[in-house]
């Protein structure tokens, strides 16, 4: 059975400003890549954090059925938010609306619940091939919105 990976990244020109997100889905059998899928999109006025979240959300929502997947992100905000902070946010009823990007955190929480997700952090812009590809996809998603 192939192992699934989702490499995700967000980009923003200005913060807020035009932004994009990208995700590279990879299925591997051992060291062999058996299938890939590239996803990207963007918005005219957004923040980098929102784009990082949308990359992970879209990657997970794209998987049609429950799967074991490793999400690889260069965003500590996303990784720490979904693995650490979200538990206290939910216990405190999302701090009564004070959590930034609550709409996306709730969407990511729901998308994560459908799968068996492992979260990994990698240093961005450090030569990690799949992370660099996700960054390229995020910039491509942003391109139509840049003036």
Q: Is 74 a catalytic residue?
A: yes
Q: Is 80 a catalytic residue?
A: no
Contacts of 33 (CB under 8 A, 6+ apart): 26, 27
Instruction: Name the catalytic one among 19, 20, 135, 141.
Output: 135
Residues in a beta bridge with 21: 10, 41
Q: Is 103 a catalytic residue?
A: no
Cβ(78)–Cβ(39) under 8 Å? no
Write out the DSSP string of 23-46.
EEEEEEETTEEEEEEEEEEEEEEE
Q: Is 20 a catalytic residue?
A: no
Instruction: Name the catalytic one among 22, 41, 42, 52.
Output: 52
Q: Is 135 a catalytic residue?
A: yes
Separation between Cα atoms, residue 17 and residue 48, nearest integer Å: 9
Instruction: Name the catalytic one among 41, 74, 81, 115.
Output: 74
Catalytic residues: 9-10, 52, 74, 125, 135
């Amino acid at each position: 059975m192939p192992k699934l990976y989702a490499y995700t990244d967000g980009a923003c020109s200005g913060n807020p400003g035009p932004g994009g997100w990208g995700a590279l889905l990879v299925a591997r059998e051992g060291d062999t890549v058996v299938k890939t899928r590239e996803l990207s999109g963007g918005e005219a006025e957004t923040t980098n954090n929102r784009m990082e979240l949308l990359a992970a959300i879209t990657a997970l929502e794209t998987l049609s059925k429950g799967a074991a997947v490793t999400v690889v992100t260069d965003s500590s905000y996303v990784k720490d938010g979904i693995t650490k902070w979200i538990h206290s946010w939910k216990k405190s009823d999302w701090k009564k609306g004070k959590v930034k990007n609550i709409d996306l955190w709730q969407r990511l929480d729901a998308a994560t619940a459908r799968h068996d997700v492992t979260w990994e952090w990698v240093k961005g812009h450090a030569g990690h091939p799949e992370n660099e590809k996700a960054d390229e996809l995020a910039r491509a998603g942003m391109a139509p919105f840049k003036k």
